[in-house]
Amino acid sequence: MPGRVVTLLEDRGACTWGVAYEVRGEQIAASLEYLNMREAVLGGYDTKLVKFHPQEKDAEEPILALVYIATPQNPSYLGPASEEDIAAQIIVSSGCAGHNIEYLLRLADFMRYFCPQAEDKHLFSIEEALISILPCLYCTEESPEETASVPQKSKG
């Protein structure tokens, strides 16, 4: 069951933090072909060129970067939801690249480590909601404390 992914929604006044990859020479055609199939044809995203501002201090000017913008016309588009509903969707979803739980946790870690100045309250609220739900998945009829306190008969 494919799940939620980080979905860029077009917002002219917004800022998105992330990583840009530079491809050169023979890589360009193969990369664009792969990304177009994965993101535009199969994924239902629109392709846009945007200004990307590298964090490196020696970067003088922004560079053009290719991004994929979600469209509500995509049949897999889930639309807005509460952080708790998104976390519940993530818990039951996985795709060919792995489980959605790992995707979310790695993304949150990436943002903390590489973009500490970006305050993504939405992302971290989803992470918090997911972490609060996870222990409930492992609940049994008896809690570990109850089973530990039950006297055991010894052989002898």
Residues 6+ away with beta carbon under 8 Å from 1: 92, 93, 94
Q: Is 39 annotated in the active site?
A: yes
Taking the C-alpha atoms of residue 71 and residue 17, their distance in angstroms, rounded to an integer, is 20
Tokens of 83: 């952080």
Among residues 39, 60, 102, 119, which one is catalytic? 39
Is the torsion defined by CA of 104, 110, 111, 112 positive or negative?
positive
Is the torsion defined by CA of 22, 28, 34, 38 positive or negative?
positive
Backbone dihedral region for residue 98 (phi beyond 0: left; psi -120 to 50: alpha; all else: beta) = left
Which has the closest alpha carbon to 127: 104, 110, 143? 104
**Catalytically annotated residues:** 39
